[in-house]
Amino acid sequence: MLRAYFQETLIEAGLDEAGRGCLAGPVYAAAVILPRSFAHPLLNDSKQLTEKERYELRPVIEAEAIAWAVGFLEPEQIDEINILRAAFRSMHLAVEKLSVVPELLLVDGNRFTPYAFIPHQCIVQGDAQYASIAAASVLAKTYRDDHMNRLHEDFPHYGWGKNKGYATREHQEALNLHGPCVHHRRSFRLDYSVPDAAAALGE
List residues forming the annotated binding site for a divalent metal cation: 16-17, 108
Sheet holding 104-108, edge to edge: 67-73, 27-33, 12-18, 104-108, 120-123
**Of the candidates 144, 145, 139, 127, which has an alpha carbon nearest to the alpha carbon of residue 67?**
139
- For 74, other C-beta atoms within 10 Å of its C-beta total 15
Strand positions, DSSP E, 23-142: 27-33, 67-73, 104-108, 120-123
Partnered with residue 123 across adjacent β-strands are 108
Sign of CA dihedral 74, 75, 77, 81: positive
First to last CA, the chain: 34
Annotated binding site: 16-17, 108
What are the Cα distances from residue 159, in Å, to 46, 117, 142, 152, 185?
A: 21, 42, 17, 7, 16
